[in-house]
Each structure stands twice: as structure tokens, then as C-alpha cells.
Chains A and B, each alone.
Chain A
Amino acid sequence: MMFGLAKKFDGGLKLPPNKHGAEAPSRILPIPESLTYYLTKNIKETHQCIVNIGETVLFGQSIARGLGHQPDIHAAYGGVIEAIGSKAGPYDAPEEQAVIIRTSEYKNVYKHDDKIKNKSDLLKSMGVAGMGGAAFPTGEKVQAAGAPRVWLINGVECEPMLSCDQCLMREQADKLVQAIRYLAAEIMPGRVILALESDKADAVSAMRLALGDVTDIELACLPPRYPQGGEKQLIQTLLGLEVPSGTHAAHLGILVLNVATVMAAFDALAYHLPLTHRLVTVAGQGVSAPGNVWVPIGAALKDVLDFCGYDGAATLRVTVGGPMMGRAVNSLDVAVTKGTSAILALTAADELAVYSAQPCIRCGVCTEVCPARLQPEDMYFNIRAGRLNRTRETGLMDCIACGACAYVCPSEIPLVASFLYAQQICRIEDEQKARAAYIGDLVKARDARLAARRSVRMGKSASREAAARTVDPAAMEKVDAAREKARSKIDK
């Protein structure tokens, strides 16, 4: 079906596709010896472990429950829980808490009860998260969108080198169409649009063939441009709408799911299959056999890279995720997560960024390519000067960290790294402020309670309350002793 473009998104740039191994058929990683599942993200607890060391788990068994909306974690192969402890992680903090499974011969499949009927709860308990990179909980997303006006299926994959969605659409086009129809019946969107970029000819023709004369799924072939696959940019391109600052697509009644997520959600809802494996692109000049590999979530990067002919001597940088938005890792023990779309072994031939941070010449190219219409050079300047509030006013939190600005900057300034840093600091500040406000409320509640009681007792206890709140030196000594004790405990 033909599709008229509403509007091109702002900024952006053309990047060399470099999709090596995109045409090769997908392969399956042999069962790795151990699997690692993270319970924290940047040391903050996201999952609660529900198994013990030495316990035997079956294929697909839930091993950690997600806190809040976080989807649960399931074992990708049967085995024994070997350890629960610190492990090199793919996030900003160097180490995360993780559960480590030693895989063994157990072939038994864990049977999930099918009592859960609510689809967003089912998605959470089957561990479905966004597979485009950010791993946003799908259950929460579906719930927030309700019955969306428009359901966008994102197969754009605009990052260079990545081809896992392309491969998935080419090899499983029929299943994807089936999945879309099944989910459409569940979530009842007003309109369904499948978006992809026109340079992936094999995926486009496979999808055309699979769709046949289906008319209720619109196919949008977009001219390639980075970062078209960003949720906000895709909505702007297809529908001409801007997602208001500080909100999500659900605010406009739009649901955006990546193609791999759609498949996982289909498996979860229709067959009660948890998300345990995903297609990962392995590419870069540092591997001799680039391509797409079915990898159990939890496998170490080392295992996947070795499977594809990894050349450790030539590789200078390994990233998890695409070259633009992925992050470089310091260790190959890092494990594949639900959001790991690619593992790249980059060598000197891959035009590595070095971020020598020469003076900004105000050339304005960064402003030109920024899809969020920000002024990166101005934000960078303010961050360097420590003016975080000013930076916030000028859009720090609206930066989607697409990396376009840092990619084009002739002075090789680490723009994105400083924006991410400043965003983190701002988030921590917000958290502290929110907590202070919360504690303030607790204090007020207590004061109200005391006042109420005092009015009942007619002031009898007022002097006692006051006595309890004043600080006398003898008491402070006791406090100091307790602090001392606590500190010595930590030192040990």
C-alpha cells in the first residue's frame, strides 16, 4: 500500500549503511556454558532474585521478578544457579548485581500457569521488553497507550551496521504478519502502520509478499535517514505530530513497537512463551563472519563474538548496540540483555571516534543535524560552566542522545557523553528534591498528628514533646557512638 509522507523529521543526516552480513541467513549460537542476568541497572535495583544458589532451573523458568513495571527474567536454558553477585555490566556503572546460571543438559521446559488474563500483566510476567535498544517494559507501554489511535510497528533500523530487524522481517515475514493481526485484535488500534527504510530491499519485498492484498496494515517505505527509527522522529515523519516535551508517544494515543518486540509479545500472549532469545547483529571489521545470530539472553559477549570469528588483536573497541547509540564496554564478560540489538567489534578501519575535544568553532553543524532542534554547542558550553539549570531550560532533557551532533562535530567534542552525564546528574537532583519533599510531607503529617493529640490532651504533653526534640550533649555522644559502630562495620 502506498503511503504519503506527512513531514520529514527535523535535522538528521545520511550515514553510510555498512550493513555487513545483512543478507546472510541467521545462525543459532550453540548453548553457552553460563548465562548472566542483571538484577540492577547502574546499581539501582530493578529485579528481585527468586532463586537460590545451587537451585536447578528449567528452560523458561522465571528467575527474577521485575520491580514496578520491569518485566520478569527467565532462564534461556536449563541449569544450576551458580552465583548471585557482582558482574561486569553494560550500563554506566562498572559492575552490576547478577544471577549466573551454569547451563547443563536439562531439556525440560518450565510450564507457566496460564491464570494471568490481563495482557499487560502477561507481557510483564513473560518478560517482554522493547528490543530496539532501550528495553522499555512493553506491558507498561501497551497499557499506557490503551486502544491507540495509531499503532506503529518500527522496522526502520536506521543505525548503521545493524541488520537484526531486517533479517527478522526477511526470514519471518509471515509470522510477523500473523503476529501483527493477532496483536491488533488484542489492542484494537485505529490504524496500523509498518514502517521500514527503502534501502533494505529484501525486507521490503518479503513484507510486501507476506502482506499480499491485506489492506488494514499499511506499509511505509521511508527514504533512509538517521535517526528516523527514533520513536519521536518516526511519529513526526509518518504523522506530522510532535510528541510534547517530557511525555511519551502514548500521550498522543500512539503505540510504537519494534518488530522484534511485536514477535516476542505475540509469543508471550498467544503461546505463553517467555522472552529468552533474541536476534543479535554481530558486525564490525573485528569479526570474520558478520551476520545475525539467535542468542540466548544472558550469553557473554565473548561467546557470541567467538562464534563469529572474533579477532581480538585487531579490535580496538567493542560496543553493545549500534555504533551511534550503543555503548562501548570494558569487558567481554558483559552479557547480552533484552535490549542488545548488536555486538560490534570495531577496528581502526571503522573510523573510530576519539573525542579529542578541540575548541568549538561554532560551525553550527551540530545544531543543523539535531532532530530535537537543540543547540548542542550551547548546551555543552553551559554544562562545562556548571550551569545545569540553564542547560535544562535550553532542552537538556529533550536530547534523545542520538549522537548525530557528536558524529558530525569537526572538533570531535564529546557532546553526547556530556549530555548523558548532565542528564544523569539532573535526574539524581530531581530524585533528591522529590525525596526531600516527601520527607517534608511526613514531617508535616507528624506535626498535624501531634497537634491533634495535643488539643485532645489539652497541652499536657507539650513540654514532653519539646523535650524529646531538643538536642542535649549527652545524647549526641550516644549518637556519635552509634555512627562509629556503623562505620567500623562498613570498613570491615
Chain B
Amino acid sequence: MEMISALIVMGALCLSGGLALAWAARKFAGNENALVVQIEELLPQTQCAQCGYPGCKPYAEAIVAGEADINQCQPGGERVVKALGQLLGADYRPPAKVAEKPMVAFIREAECIGCTLCIKACPVDCIIGAPKQMHTVITADCTGCTLCIPPCPVNCIDMEMLPPRWQPERP
């Protein structure tokens, strides 16, 4: 008799605990849109499409949808993989491609024919120019995404390396 009552009590306890957990899982389930925003905040916003998606937001959506891995953002490198891993509870893995040194676009102004095609390609609007005028890049805003290179009909855009950012040594 005692054993049966113990079984009943324990069973009831387990059941109610399970129900509570199930309810909590529904109630506090993560909001997908919020997650996309959170992930996007961690991405470098270079909009360079090197992750295989046409920008940081599409990449963030792809991660949430489970299509993309967390290590595809190239400019973000190790730092972003770590941050994403922390946010999503995923294990660390090395970035898929090693990030290049920071670069900026540079237009050889003498050769530019002023076709404005590069302006349309630049995701951050950092190329100034008007039709038939020479164009130039605002270096401080350029993210080095290289998207302006393919459209240029005369191939007058170069990528130049920036001096390396100084990094402190670990004591």
C-alpha cells in the first residue's frame, strides 16, 4: 500500500513538473525576430556578401533559419564566431575563410569615366560623384567589401591595404 501511494505521489510530482516545463518552454520561447536583430548586432555590417548572402541581415536570417553556419562571416573573423557561439550556445569552430587584412577601395581618378555604376553597387554610399564626373571613395567610410569592383566598366578601382591595427600583446 505504502509503495503504491509513493508511486502515485512521485508520479504526480513528475507529471506536474513536466507540465510546468512544457508550459515554460512555450511561454519563454525565443522570439525569432528578436534573435535576428541580436545576431545582426554582432555582425560587422560590412555588407560585403562574402558570407554567401547579400548582406549581414540576410545572413542573420539564414542563421536563425538554420541554413547557415555561424562561421561564414569573413570580416568578422574569430571574434564574431565566438560572439555568435556565445549567443546561440554553439561550439567554437574556426572561421570558414581567413579574414583578409582591412582594405579600402581606391579609384584611379584619371581613368574614371563617371558612369556612376560603382555608386549603385556600394552598400554604404561611400562613393561620391555625379554622372560624367570623376568619382572618389570616402576612405573613412569604405568597408572594403569590394562590391564596387565588378560593375566598373574601365576597371579603375583598386583595393588598397590599410596599415595594420596595433594589437596589444598578452602579458
Contact = CB atoms under 8 A, between A and B. Distances in A.
Nearest to B57: A443
B150 A425 contact: no
A454 B141 CA distance: 25
Given A446-B123, A468-B121, A475 B166 contact: no
Given A446-B124, A483-B159, A478 B165 contact: no
A247 interface: no
Contacts of B166: 42-44, 92-93
A242 to B, nearest CB: 29
Contacts of B165: 43, 428
Main DSSP-derived SS at the A contact region: helix
A424 B46 contact: no
A280 B104 CA distance: 43
A320 to B, nearest CB: 18
Contact of B159 (A421, A429, A446, A485): A485
Contacts of A468: 120-121, 151
Interface in A404-448: 414, 417-418, 420-421, 424-425, 428-429, 432, 435-437, 439-440, 442-443, 445-446
B125 interface: yes
Nearest to B163: A43
A357 to B, nearest CB: 9
Interface string B19-53: 00000000000000000000011011111010000
A439 B121 contact: no
Contacts of A478: 149-150, 155
A289 B158 CA distance: 58
Given A442-B141, A479-B149, A490 B161 contact: yes
Contact of A483 (B43, B120, B146): B146
Interface residues on B, range: 35 or more
Which of A421, A449, A470, A486 neighbours the largest number of chain B CB atoms within 10 Å of its CB?
Answer: A486
A486 B158 contact: yes
A414 B170 CA distance: 11
B126 to A, nearest CB: 7
A324 B78 CA distance: 35
A469 B161 contact: no
Interface residues on A, range: 35 or more
Interface string A477-491: 011001101110110
Contacts of A474: 150
A469 B54 contact: yes
A449 B125 contact: yes
B41 to A, nearest CB: 8
14 contacts: A43-B163, A43-B164, A44-B166, A92-B166, A421-B168, A432-B44, A439-B124, A439-B143, A443-B123, A446-B124, A446-B125, A464-B120, A482-B149, A487-B100
Interface of A: 42-44, 92-93, 414, 417-418, 420-421, 424-425, 428-429, 432, 435-437, 439-440, 442-443, 445-446, 449, 464-465, 468-471, 474-476, 478-479, 482-483, 485-487, 489-490
Please provide the 8 A-B residue pairs with the shortest distance between their CB atoms, ordered closest to farther.
Answer: A475-B150, A417-B171, A43-B166, A442-B124, A424-B168, A486-B159, A439-B45, A440-B45
